[in-house]
Amino acid sequence: MSEPERTVGAWMTPQPHTIGDDQSLADARERMHHWHVRHLPVLHGGHLVGVVSERDVSLVEALQGVDIAHVRVDEAMSAEPWTVTKDATLAAVAAAMAEQRIGTAIVVEGEDRVVGVFTTTDALRALARLAS
């Protein structure tokens, strides 16, 4: 594997779909279903403020008497998403994700400009390539 292939940037999903923090969880669920993704970076004014997962939506949806059309994303998101740069090494990021049971890393430039998402699925694609 070449040096560039050893970075998160080589395996991340670039330009990921995002959602605004003031949108509903029903909107989040629809976007995830439509785009076949399990995580959406959450933005406020173009800045990263969280991440919402399919699991987050399902947990709120399971609450009796709660309509996800009336629950905002910022009420269910993880407010401190784990971020990395695209130059972060694949080995370090995958090890941290496994050790801390993190399902996704939001790839940023600067402090909070989202440029990609690196998920466990991306890590498995990298592993398959390494193992072949």
Read off the pLDDT of residues 35-53 as tens digits, 9 standing for 90 and up: 999 999 999 999 999 999 9
Q: Looking at the chain, how many residues does it have?
A: 132
Cβ-contact 108, 115 below 8 angstroms: yes
Kindly give, in sequence order, each residue whose CB lies less than 8 Å from that of residue 26, ignoring residues fewer than 6 positions away.
67, 68, 69
Average pLDDT, integer, range 3-30? 92
Pair of tokens at residue 125? 């694609």
Kindly give, in sequence order, each residue whose CB lies less than 8 Å from that of residue 21, ignoring residues fewer than 6 positions away.
42, 43, 44, 49, 50, 72, 73, 74, 77
Please check the confidence at residue 88 and state whether its pLDDT lies above 60.
yes
Cβ-contact 7, 90 below 8 angstroms: yes
pTM (global) more than 0.95: no
Q: pLDDT class for 111, splitting at 50, 70, 90?
A: confident
